[in-house]
Amino acid sequence: MTHLFKLDNVIQDYIWGSKTSIASLFEIENTENAHQAEIWMGAHPNGCSKRDNDKALLSELIKAQPEAFLGQRTTEQYGELPYLLKVLAAAKPLSIQVHPEKSRAAAGFENENQAGIPVTAGNRNYKDPNHKPELVYALTPYLAMNGFRVFEEIISLFEQASVPSLETELAALKANPESSQLKAFFEAVMSLEGEARDTALAELLENIDSKGQTELAKQAFAMVVEFHAEYPTDIGLFAPLMLNLIELQPGEAMFLFAETPHAYLRGTGMEIMANSDNVLRAGLTPKFIDVPELIDNTKFEPIPFDTLKTAPVVEGYRTCFPVPVEDFKIDILTSTDQAASLNTESGEILFCLTGNVTVKTGQESVVLKSGESVFVPFAAGEYQFEGEGQLVRAYN
Ligand SMILES: [Zn+2]
């Protein structure tokens, strides 16, 4: 079983998805004018890829011959494909979220099972026992929030926003700018409810167009105004004052750590993540927010803006973005007319970003056009690629 095969992937039609971006970037049509939010490449039960020729589920193929598909190391460590590769095309902001650490996810999953909360219930936090580190690689300008701003920025932005309702909490943070106080401040904001929330939001929004003195404040407040149009009463309107606002340019990437609040706001990118669905929401959502559980799973350490991007390591035709987890790896491969060769490190997925690229093993070859993908089983051993274009390589 060393055959490589093209994948038939699920395109998720979430309401925030762009109707045009995927169709314009790739040779993928959108005849029904659907929201094309995410292309999923992997073996996740909520959108499992199929072998293109016979529509066999990748998850079933892996289950039947795990070591041939994944290799011994990955099979022993994970027992399944440990990553999910996506194209994500956001026309509107996604919810602000935090992903739990692995040990907490395992404990939380077990606790909710014990408590008899169905996995599909609205108040269920942990859908599986896994963590969900992520890396995003921008294909277009890609706007996101990631991690707490440094203390001085948070303080300055709230001062410029002038929100009397949070005066006491802000004074405490200013007097003692450290993690425990940021936690208290964030908790106070997230716990605002009913009239108190309405008042605080009204204070934030009052004259917001003219309130920002610094460039940073102008950017943050412009984001608040954008969010307000979508989510007029959402506590997430405060998020741009607390979280780094970053726009990746095409070809840039960043890692999203566990226990770090983040949100994707606009743009199209590749996303690779551990095979998990564990999300604790923190705003910009009509869905359930479990504030105590969120606080328990959040690390209140600022991430300085200039450390957010992941520095690429370029080795000839291969650009990799090192990540601090074992669940996944991602390379961008530049293919030319001169065939290049790689050894499989696990079960691998290659997604064609641009051009036409031929992928070959000993026995067979597959031509990928942009938007197409192929699964290379571990047992293929060595594979070659050639033809002008770019591939995203996912493996672990
Ligand atoms: Zn996330």
Average pLDDT over residues 145-173: 97
Instruction: Give the CA distances from residue 304 to residues 29, 151, 153, in Å, rounded to whole numbers and listed in that order.
Output: 40, 10, 10
- Predicted confidence at residue 93, as pLDDT, reads 93
By the 8 A CB rule, do 261 and 160 touch? no
How far away, in angstroms, is 301 Cα from ligand 1 center? 18
In the chain the first and final C-alpha atoms are separated, in Å, by 20
Q: What is the pLDDT of residue 2?
A: 60
Q: How far is the CA of 31 from the centre of ligand 1 (A)?
A: 29
Active-site residue among 149, 197, 266, 281? Answer: 281
266 is catalytic: no
Predicted confidence band of residue 45 (pLDDT cuts 50, 70, 90): confident
Q: What is the residue-averaged pLDDT of the chain? A: 94
Average pLDDT over residues 148-175: 97
Q: What percent of the chain has pLDDT over 70?
A: 99
Average pLDDT value for residue range 282-309:
92
Q: How far is the CA of 68 from the centre of ligand 1 (A)?
A: 31
CA–centroid distance, 98 to ligand 1, in Å, is: 7
Task: Using the predicted structure, report yes or no on whether residue 1 has a pLDDT greater than 80.
Answer: no
In this predicted model, what pLDDT tens digit does every residue of 165-183 receive, in sequence order?
A: 999 999 999 999 999 999 9
CB under 8 Å to 176, separation ≥6 — which residues? none
Residues 346, 352, 353, 354, CA torsion sign: positive
Output the CA 176–ligand 1 centroid distance in Å.
Answer: 30
Quick one: how far is CA 217 from the chain centroid?
Answer: 26
Query: How far apart (Å, rounded) are the C-alpha atoms in residues 298 and 98?
Result: 7
